[in-house]
Amino acid sequence: MIHEQESIVIKTVARLLVPFIQLFALYVIMHGHSSPGGGFQGGVILAASFILLSIAYGLDEVKRRFSIKALTVLTSAGVFLYAGTGVLCLLLGENFLDYGVLPVVEPRGMGMLAIEIGVGITVMAAMVSIFHDLLDFE
Amino acid sequence: MIWQLDLILLVFTVACAIGALVIKDLLGSVIMLGAFSLFMCLLWIEMGAVDVAFTEASVGAGITTVFFVIAVFKTERRSKD
């Protein structure tokens, strides 16, 4: 359904905006534990940047760089990061997702950050693959 | 909490919701739903729930609008009833 646009205005504005949207999304994910925002919101904003890119440059261009297989792997990798952090705490002798025992500086903040990054990756990949599936559906 | 601002935002929210229900053109209805999400987001901010407002703005006004627009283009634009 979506093909490459002829309009140079749309393409230029999309190309200029996408890096700033992605930077803002990473900021929202990184500051999720101390300010409003978090993994879910940051992942949705990151997915919105890819949706803007595929509206402006056509779906095939985005699919060439970001295949369905990569999206599936990313969806699973985020869940794996979330559960892996929890199981790591379990292996170190505490409860599931009890970040206090992680062997890093500032273990609670870092544990929460790992969770947020996992949620962000999963939400981004799931939203973009829903978008691709909706467009491919006949 | 400023109750005058609260009341104005609530009136706009209800107006957008009723508009989204009564408009026959489904594309216009989707856009009204996006406006409803925007006013709902302002209402959340005004009541102090910034995190919920963030989710409402990114999911309600951003992603679901895109999904609904695709759904309208994949089916048909006019509503039967």
- Cα–Cα distance list, A62 to A37, A59, A92, B56 (Å): 27, 5, 42, 27
A36 is written with which tokens? 């409003």
Within-domain flag for A27: yes
CB contact under 8 A, B51 and A51: no
Average pLDDT over residues B37-61: 91
- A7-11, A98-102, B15-19, B25-29: least confident range: A98-102
CA distance B3 to chain A (A): 24
pLDDT reported for residue A2: 65
Does B49 lie at the interface with A, CB-CB under 8 angstroms? no
Within-domain flag for A47: yes
ipTM: 0.83
Does B7 lie at the interface with A, CB-CB under 8 angstroms? no
Tell me how many domains chain A contains.
1
Residue of A nearest to B71 (CA): A134
Within-domain flag for A29: yes
Within-domain flag for A3: no
pLDDT reported for residue A122: 95
Q: pLDDT of A13-68, one tens digit each?
A: 999 999 999 999 999 999 888 888 888 999 999 999 999 988 888 888 888 888 88
Name the helix (H) or strand (E) containing A5: none
Q: pLDDT of B10-41, one tens digit each?
A: 999 999 999 999 998 999 999 999 999 999 99
Within-domain flag for A1: no
